[in-house]
Amino acid sequence: MGRFLLRRLILLPVILVLLNFLGFCYAALAIQVHRAQSPYGAQEETTPQVIAQYRDYARGLLRFDLGSLPVGTHSPIGAFVAQGLGASVGLFGLAFLLSLLVGLPLGRAAIQLDPPRTRPWLTGLATAGLAMPGFYIGTLLVSLLLMQVSEANSNPALPVSGFGWDLHLILPLVALTIRPAVQIAQVTASLLSEELGRRYVTAARSFGLTWRMILREKALKNILAPLFLSISSAFRLSVAELILVEYLFDWPGIGRMLARTLVPPSTVGPRGLLDVGVYFLWPPLMAALLPLFGLLFYLVDTLASALARRVDPRLGAPEEVTYG
């Protein structure tokens, strides 16, 4: 386990530097492509080579200067991204925790014990739930609230956009929670029903053990490893949802930042696509965001793998097995 974690930690800075370089170069190249396609045609100034641009940027990076946002704001990117990270981690963390709190018991409740199988209602619920992306759920909620507003001629009961660790949190939280909760419930139920169909469970039942004891002592422990790995997979998919939900509710997190970096604004100006407040394909910002997302994926994957190895030693590397 120790070596596994050490290997992962050693790889981490390499991956972050690589992502930083790739993100910068990607944005620097892509913006040149877009400038050529801009409605304002070939009236753009020439830009230095990508590698030369990265070299200048890297010099600043060594001074812990991540660059600043483009013309008009000049805010330091470090502070900008840190602020967004806080907003995203808070929202996403809460949503994921909630989805675990809802999904795991739901999956357990959907198990029919004798014979062990998943109850049909969960299949239906999961199929419907997985078909509904977070932005659709968010749009549905917003529509319902606005309908209520138009009928009652009042303000919406919940804020439909904006940031705040208050009522502003509710709609994005709900939109972000439902799909992973349903996915986790389905995975849990599927793993449990398969586990409860094994012979050792039949044997344990014949010895008089109750279902509760079997579940608590054996079955749940045996499914933990694949469950952790499935949850990390659900986490990755939820990151894509985060981008859309933050965009919908105007939540100022790194998801919305990434969307604005990758999606051109609906307006362009004579400078092409870099007008005030717009940072589409801004290389230093892309260079900061890509490693951040990479770090999130990497840490969660490492955590899930470490936990899986902890509960199931068979998943450990051969050199970690000691012979005494």
Q: Is 90 in the site for another protein (CB under 8 A)?
A: no
* Among candidate residues 264, 261, 267, 266, the one with its CA nearest the CA of residue 246: 261
Q: Which stretch binds another protein (CB under 8 A): 7-15, 95-103, 263-271, 303-311?
A: 263-271
- Say if residue 115 is preceded by a cis peptide, omega within 30 of 0: yes
Q: Is 254 exposed, middle or buried (0-12, 13-18, 19+ CB in 10 A)?
A: buried
Q: Which of 48, 22, 69 is nearest to 261 (CA)?
A: 69
Closest approach, Cβ 142 to another protein, in A, equals 5
Three-point CA angle 137, 290, 244, nearest 5°: 10
Contacts 24+ apart (CB under 8 A), 7-16: 8/298, 8/302, 12/295, 12/298, 15/291, 15/294, 15/298, 16/291, 16/294, 16/295
**Cα angle value 241/243/244 (rounded, 5°):** 65
Q: State yes or no: residue 75 binds another protein (CB under 8 A).
A: no
**Under rule CB under 8 A, residue 37 binds another protein:** yes
Phi, psi of 236 (to 5 degrees): -60, -45
Residue from 29, 89, 101, 167 that binds another protein (CB under 8 A)? 29
Number of residues that bind another protein (CB under 8 A): 50
Interface pick for another protein out of 244, 274, 287, 292 (rule CB under 8 A): 244
Q: Which of 94, 130, 295, 311 binds another protein (CB under 8 A)?
A: 130
Amino acid at 112: Q
Residue from 89, 140, 170, 276 touching another protein (CB under 8 A): that is 140
Judged by CB under 8 A, the chain residues 212 through 241 that form the site for another protein are 236-237, 239-240
Tell the burial category of 228 from Cβ atoms under 10 Å away from its Cβ (0-12, 13-18, 19+): buried
Selected from 73, 75, 112, 161, the binder of another protein by CB under 8 A is 161
Contact of 234 with 180, CB cutoff 8 Å? yes
Minimal distance in Å, beta carbon 99 to another protein? 16
Query: Least CB distance from residue 62 to another protein, whole Å?
Result: 27
- Confirm or reject binding of residue 202 to another protein (CB under 8 A): no
Query: How many C-beta atoms surround the C-beta of residue 61 within 10 A?
Result: 18
* Residue 247 sits in the site that holds another protein (CB under 8 A): yes
The CB-of-265 to another protein minimum distance in angstroms stands at 8
Shortest Å, Cβ 210 to another protein: 26
Decide if residue 262 touches another protein (CB under 8 A).
yes
**Where do contacts with another protein occur on this chain (CB under 8 A)?**
26, 29-30, 33-34, 37-43, 123, 127-128, 130-133, 135-136, 139-140, 142-143, 146, 150, 160-161, 236-237, 239-240, 243-244, 247-248, 259, 262-264, 266-270, 281, 293, 297, 301
